[in-house]
Structures are given as structure tokens and as C-alpha cells.
Amino acid sequence: MKFFTKKRVVLFLLFIFPLICFLILSTGENNFTKLPIVTKNIVDISEITSGKKITFKENVSIVCFLGKDLKASKTGVFNFNEKIYKKFTDYKKFQVIAIYPSDKEAEVQELKIELGVFTDMIKWNFIASSKEEIEAFYSSLNTGESLKNSYISKAYLIDKDGHLRGRIKDADSKNGKLFGYNMNSVAVLNGKLKDDIKVLYYEYYAAFKSKNENKADRKEVGL
């Protein structure tokens, strides 16, 4: 077709296409949908820590449960470390909390050493606790699933206000609700958890930007 000349294609790529992308992104920002809260006000992690000043408040947290058999959970932990942790280490207020039974200290130390070979562990937090405390904390997530030997293969995304975030229209989840992200699945980590963490951070960025713009507007009108 004569319409699609080389010159016109070049002009389209240089001028029209970037404009279209800008309009799409602008529309997406204005119609931005927040990442759903699937469980409100879960128990703060500070309730089961012994002396460590760790809290969900003002942090974006990923929580996982290592369980009694660390060999069984190791694959998921390493998947998570490579696909998620290393991607978000530089993000502000980002932390990972790995909960494990108190009698598994030696195995956890070995795991830390293995992870630390090629990883900056600064935002990994390992929390030892009793079976009863772990069960009580997990039950506050209200996921509809149970731990087995203090273990589950999923990671949970907690926002700055202590709410569990996830999805309410997930095609792969029962009733469409996604409470946790399977660490044994690279596809889930890459295709769901990574995206959802970015959405949550953008939500905070958009709120911060809007707050500052409102302050500027009020200043202009003398309020």
C-alpha cells in the first residue's frame, strides 16, 4: 500500500507512536486501580518477635513461613530471592520476613549463609517463634488455608498499614481471591507478585504526589 511509505513509517515511529504511548499511560494513571486489600488489620509481626524492632507499620513487607523442614522450603526461598528480593532490594521501606520454628536455628543459619553468597541480606529478617505463636499469627491472615508443620509455600504481601494485599479477580484462585503467591512457581513470582509489588509502590507514589499537589494548590489560594 502506498500509504505505508518508508517516510511515513519513520514519522509514525518518531512522533505519533510516542504520543499514543503517553496518552495511554496518562489514562492509566488517572484510572489507576489500587491493589485490593484481602484481609484487614492482621496481627503485627512485632507481636511474635523477641527483642527485634520489626514492624509492618510504614513498611512494604513480604512474609513467608519456612516450617520445620527447611530442605522442603529451600527451593521456594531461592526462587523468591532471585525473582523478587533482588529486584526490590533498593526500594525504600521494603523488607522480607521469614518466620520459622525456634528449634530450627541451626538450619536457618545455614540457609542464611547459602543465600548470602550472592545476595545482600540487609532486608531479610528471620524471626524465630513457637508453633503456637506462628499459628496464631498466620490465622490472622484469614487465607482459608492451613500451615503444615509451620510451613506453607506462599509469600504474603503486607502493606504499610498492616493489611494483607492480593487479588480478588484471580483466574487461578478459588473464588477469585489470591491471598498468597506460590514461591515454588517462577511464573507466579514473575507474573503476579512482582507486578503487585510495583502496583502497591505506585499506589503510594500516586498518593504522595497527589498530597503534595494539593498542598501546592492550597498555598496558591492562601489556605
Q: Report yes or no on 90 lying in a domain.
A: yes
Q: For cell 509455600, what's the residue?
A: 153
Structural domain contains residue 201 = yes
Q: Is residue 125 part of a domain?
A: yes
Q: What is the pLDDT of residue 8?
A: 63
Cell representation of residue 57 = 507499620
Beta bridge partners of 97: 63, 125
In a structure prediction context, what are the per-residue pLDDT tens digits for the chain, which is 223 residues long? 555 566 665 555 555 655 565 445 444 443 457 999 999 999 999 998 876 789 999 999 999 999 999 999 999 999 999 999 999 999 999 999 999 999 999 999 999 999 999 999 999 999 999 999 999 999 999 999 999 999 999 999 999 999 999 999 999 998 999 999 999 999 999 999 999 999 999 999 998 887 776 555 444 434 3
- What is residue 9's predicted lDDT score, i.e. its pLDDT? 57
The answer to the question of residue 23 being in a domain is: no
Distance CA 54, CA 97 (A): 9
> Any alpha helices (H) in the chain, and if so which ranges?
6-11, 17-30, 70-80, 86-88, 105-116, 131-139, 186-188, 194-220
- The enclosing domain of 118 has a CATH number of 3.40.30.10
Instruction: Please state, in angstroms and rounded to a whole number, the distance separating the CA atoms of residues 32 and 50.
Output: 39
What span, in angstroms and rounded, lies between the C-alpha atoms of 149 and 65?
Answer: 10
Structural domain contains residue 21: no
Grid cell digits, residue 22? 503517553
**C-alpha to C-alpha distance for 220 and 182, rounded to whole angstroms:** 49
pTM of this prediction exceeds 0.85: no
The DSSP call for residue 85 is I
Domain that holds residue 124: 37-209
Number of domains in the chain: 1
pLDDT at 28: 42
In a domain, 20, yes or no: no
CB 156 within 8 A of CB 180: yes
Residue 5 has what pLDDT?
A: 66
Task: Look at residue 200 and tell me if it is in a domain.
Answer: yes
In a domain, 187, yes or no: yes
Q: Are 163 and 34 in contact (CB under 8 A)?
A: no
The sign of the torsion formed by the CA atoms of 137, 75, 93, 167 equals negative
